[in-house]
Amino acid sequence: MKKSLICAALLIFISCLAAARSNAQQIYLFSQSSCEQDGVDCASSIGLYGGTIYGYSATEVDYWTSDDYSAYVDGQLYDQNGILLDNEWDEEDFIAEVNTLTSANPGTIYTERGYHDVIARYYYEDIGRGPEGCSPCDGCNTDCYYFYDNWYWSDPFGFSFMNGGYFGSWENVYGFGPPAEIENDETISLGQTSQSVFVGWRITSISPSRGPVGTTVPVIIFGSGFSQFGSNTVSASGYGVTATEVNFISSGVLSANFQITSDASAGNHSVRVTINGFPSNSLNFFVQVPTGLSVVGITVISSSPVHSCWVCLPGNDTGIQIATQYQVMDQHGDPILSSAMAPEETLKNLVIGGVARPDPAPGFTNLGGSCYPTDTTTDANGRFLDAPFGWCAPYSTSSLSVDQAIRMSVGSSHYTVRMQSFTGTSSGPGHGTISNGSDVSASR
Amino acid sequence: MIKKQMNKLLFVKFSLLAAMMLLTGLSARLSAQTPEDFKQRYGNPQSGVYRVREAITAKVKFDHNNQAQEIVVVPLPAGDSPSAMSTATATEVLNEVMPVSRRGKLLKTGAFAASCVSVQAEEYEKVTIDRTIRCNSQGGGVYRLNIRHK
């Protein structure tokens, strides 16, 4: 498509200039290379099953020029080592064009070079001999002291004075003259165009493709074209993700550790593999930050046996205490499987039996370490227990309200994951309900 | 003989009187409630805060009658973790700043627990007392006393 558009534009351009024969004649030189895989441009990278490199070169003469010259092109497709992969030539009245192709391999630079000529149409033959009258004039007659048979090709626009040249991917050349005659050679070189395409290294997947802040995640990078002897440099965009201990496993597999700082930017980081200065395509690695909590389970804590730090005891048993297990979730609502998070809470606006009490925890304090078996950090699955939680009194009825905020601390970074208000009522000893109005609710 | 017994009786009376006077004085010290009382017992306050023990302070708000209206007793912070008082020390300080005799009859109690923190609430006729307690893994003990006159 791209090629067709360029050719159409060229024709229009040339047509517009056609009337300028009296000034100069124009020739257009063009080379292009591209990579396609399943109809998709794969110049930056190709899939494991490869793609195809297409080369195209053309020499195009305008209407007036074609009276005296043919267009000629020789298209050659090379790799970066100078190995010729394909070669085609063409000669036409107006447009000489060739297509070359080869299979694409990652980490390779392909270059399409077009060698552009015009071929003069008209000539005359000049036979010189001596002495006058020697015959036959075939050069074998010993009666002739000298004999020559030269051909002179007409170059009315003086293209032979251009001496060719190395151009970029395209060039317009003009024949400004003066007219010339070329001895024994009808081919006039106009120069060379070229265009290169780099087919990069390919990474097809990263496993795992996500990791929590404040952790080091061992990852496997799958792809193609990885180097056993060159440096495989793995980089991640954005702040807070660093690849270390990059190891070559095979040309299709690298291993690495992604060190994610506790304050790394949340969300996607573009990962690339760079070999010898050439980067691969990129794939996203998702940095998880604590964003919410989901309730895994709720247990009502029995009043018996008695534990010193639990407040529902025989004789003081009007109310309820619960143990709630939470799962820390990321921005997508997926669980964060990390033990590097410390749950902390504030407890404010405590009211027991209708009487306001001082804030139990006005500043954030760790949830762990109570006599209920809790830890100060999450377990390997990113879960933690909030226990005990509740109230008790020695009376026939009682009530509770309190506000709780929970955040997860990772290193020096803090992520608020929940704000909730609990209310509770009790009709007497051994009974009570408690709820946050949504996903935490229990009664006994 | 009788005179000797009289002298002995007088000695006992004076001893009792002296003991009563001593107890009265001691009681007066133990029931500190006015700014002067607090000052005599704990020295000059700094911004309304008295040093009630080496590492324990009491912030006292007085009402218009110069009677302590609200008292918050906290240990001085030590390091990053909140400091806590032992239960015995907390009770000792509580009895100094709010003697049992001034509290009235105990009406209600209740307790709230949330992970490592619990609040033990007592409501008396004249005051409410809240002890905020931490579990052993985070220092263990009472880290705040809130006393408020009704």
In the structure, what pLDDT confidence band is assigned to residue A227 with cuts at 50, 70 and 90?
Answer: confident
Same domain flag for A209 and A334: no
Q: Given a cut of 50, is residue B29 above it in pLDDT? A: no
Domain-embedded: residue A140: no
Q: Given a cut of 50, is residue B25 above it in pLDDT? A: no
Closest to B121 (Cβ–Cβ): which among A357, A368, A402?
A: A357
Among A residues 167-206, those touching chain B with beta carbons less than 8 Å apart: none
Q: Given a cut of 80, is residue B14 above it in pLDDT? A: no
Longest dimension (CA), chain A: 147
- Looking at the complex, report in whole angstroms how far the Cα of residue A336 sits from the nearest Cα belonging to chain B: 22
pLDDT reported for residue B94: 95
Q: Given a cut of 90, is residue A86 above it in pLDDT? A: yes
Instruction: Name the amino acid, one letter, at B75.
Output: P
Name every chain A residue with its beta carbon within 8 A of the beta carbon of B108: 353, 355, 393, 395
> Nearest-CA residue of chain B relative to A393?
B110
* Distance in angstroms (rounded) separating the CA atoms of residues B110 and A390: 11
Q: Tell me B44's DSSP state.
A: -
In the structure, what pLDDT confidence band is assigned to residue A163 with cuts at 50, 70 and 90?
Answer: confident
Q: Tell me B85's DSSP state.
A: B
The torsion angles phi and psi of A62, rounded to 5 degrees, stand at -80, 175
Domain-embedded: residue A138: no
Written as six digits, the tokens of B74 are 């906290």
Same domain flag for A51 and A24: yes
In the structure, what pLDDT confidence band is assigned to residue B80 with cuts at 50, 70 and 90?
Answer: low
Question: Taking CB atoms and an 8 Å limit, are B115 and A374 in contact across chains?
Answer: yes
Q: Given a cut of 90, is residue A340 above it in pLDDT? A: yes
Query: Which of A109, A269, A278 is closest to A201 using CA atoms?
Result: A278
- Looking at the complex, report in whole angstroms how far the Cα of residue A436 sits from the nearest Cα belonging to chain B: 14
Cβ–Cβ < 8 Å for A47, A202: yes
E-strand ranges in A131-281 read 146-155, 170-175, 180-183, 187-199, 202-207, 210-212, 216-224, 232-236, 241-250, 253-260, 267-275, 278-279
Domain-embedded: residue A384: yes
SS3 (DSSP) at A113: strand
Domain-embedded: residue A222: yes
Percentage of residues in chain A with pLDDT exceeding 70? 90
Domain-embedded: residue A29: yes
Same domain flag for A246 and A262: yes
Supply angle C-alpha B85, B86, B88, rounded to 5: 120
pLDDT reported for residue A17: 43
Closest to A367 (Cβ–Cβ): which among B72, B116, B120?
A: B116
pLDDT reported for residue A254: 95
pLDDT reported for residue B23: 42
Domain-embedded: residue A93: yes
In the structure, what pLDDT confidence band is assigned to residue A45 with cuts at 50, 70 and 90?
Answer: low
Domain-embedded: residue A428: yes
ipTM for the predicted complex comes to 0.74
> Which CATH number fits the domain that encloses residue A245?
2.60.40.10
- Looking at the complex, report in whole angstroms how far the Cα of residue A418 sits from the nearest Cα belonging to chain B: 15
Write out pLDDT tens, residues A275-288: 888 788 889 999 99
pLDDT reported for residue A77: 95
pLDDT reported for residue A264: 97
Beta-carbon neighbour count of residue A263 at 10 Å? 16
Q: Given a cut of 50, is residue B19 above it in pLDDT? A: no
Per the rule left: phi > 0, alpha: psi between -120 and 50, beta: everything else, A230 is: beta
Residue A351, chain B, CB below 8 Å: the answer is no
With the C-alpha atoms ordered A160, A164, A169, A174, is the resulting torsion angle positive or negative?
A: negative
Range of A55's domain? Answer: 2-123+153-199
Written as six digits, the tokens of A438 are 């949504």
Question: Taking CB atoms and an 8 Å limit, are A358 and B146 in contact across chains?
Answer: yes
Query: Domain boundary residue among A288, A318, A342?
Result: A288
pLDDT reported for residue A32: 86
DSSP A238-263: SSSEEEEEEEEEETTEEEEEEEE-TT
Same domain flag for A222 and A73: no
Residue B39: how many CA atoms within 13 Å on its side-chain side? 10
Q: Given a cut of 90, is residue A108 above it in pLDDT? A: no
The more confident residue out of A7 and A251 is A251
Same domain flag for A298 and A427: yes
Query: Which of A257, A287, A275 is closest to A202 using CA atoms?
Result: A275
Written as six digits, the tokens of B117 are 């923190």
- Looking at the complex, report in whole angstroms how far the Cα of residue B24 sits from the nearest Cα belonging to chain A: 34
Written as six digits, the tokens of A38 are 């399943």
Name every chain A residue with its beta carbon within 8 A of the beta carbon of B136: 369, 371
Same domain flag for A303 and A188: no
DSSP A385-429: EEEEEEEEESSS-EEEEEEEEEEEEETTEEEEEEEEEEEEEESST
The more confident residue out of A318 and A371 is A318
Query: Domain boundary residue among A288, A307, A337?
Result: A288
* Distance in angstroms (rounded) separating the CA atoms of residues A295 and A300: 14
**B71, B107, B116, B127: which to substitute to probe chain A, counting the most A Cβ within 10 Å?**
B116
In the structure, what pLDDT confidence band is assigned to residue A421 with cuts at 50, 70 and 90?
Answer: very high
> Nearest-CA residue of chain B relative to A309?
B135
Domain-embedded: residue A136: no
In the structure, what pLDDT confidence band is assigned to residue A24 with cuts at 50, 70 and 90?
Answer: low
**H or E segment and range at residue B2:** helix B2-30
Cβ–Cβ < 8 Å for A224, A253: no
Same domain flag for A108 and A6: yes
Count of domains for chain A: 3
Write out pLDDT tens, residues B85-139: 999 999 999 999 999 999 999 988 899 999 889 999 999 999 999 999 988 888 7
Question: Taking CB atoms and an 8 Å limit, are B113 and A395 in contact across chains?
Answer: no
Q: Given a cut of 90, is residue B43 above it in pLDDT? A: yes
Residue A353, chain B, CB below 8 Å: the answer is yes
- Looking at the complex, report in whole angstroms how far the Cα of residue A49 sits from the nearest Cα belonging to chain B: 57
**H or E segment and range at residue A129:** strand A123-130
* Distance in angstroms (rounded) separating the CA atoms of residues B143 and B77: 10
Q: What is the mean pLDDT of residues A17-23?
A: 42
> Nearest-CA residue of chain B relative to A351?
B112
Residue-averaged pLDDT of chain B: 81
Cβ–Cβ < 8 Å for A327, A314: no
The more confident residue out of B78 and A238 is A238
**B73, B112, B144: which to substitute to probe chain A, counting the most A Cβ within 10 Å?**
B112
- Looking at the complex, report in whole angstroms how far the Cα of residue A362 sits from the nearest Cα belonging to chain B: 11
Among B residues 4-43, those touching chain A with beta carbons less than 8 Å apart: none
Cβ–Cβ < 8 Å for A436, A422: yes
Same domain flag for A251 and A324: no
Query: Which of A302, A315, A336 is closest to A408 using CA atoms?
Result: A336
Same domain flag for A262 and A302: no
Same domain flag for A115 and A232: no
Q: Given a cut of 60, is residue B10 above it in pLDDT? A: no
Place of tokens 């020559």: A148
pLDDT reported for residue A14: 44
Q: What is the mean pLDDT of residues A261-278?
A: 92
Same domain flag for A245 and A325: no
Name every chain A residue with its beta carbon within 8 A of the beta carbon of B127: none
Residue-averaged pLDDT of chain A: 87
Name every chain A residue with its beta carbon within 8 A of the beta carbon of B146: 357-358
Place of tokens 């305008």: A62
Same domain flag for A231 and A321: no
pLDDT reported for residue A368: 86
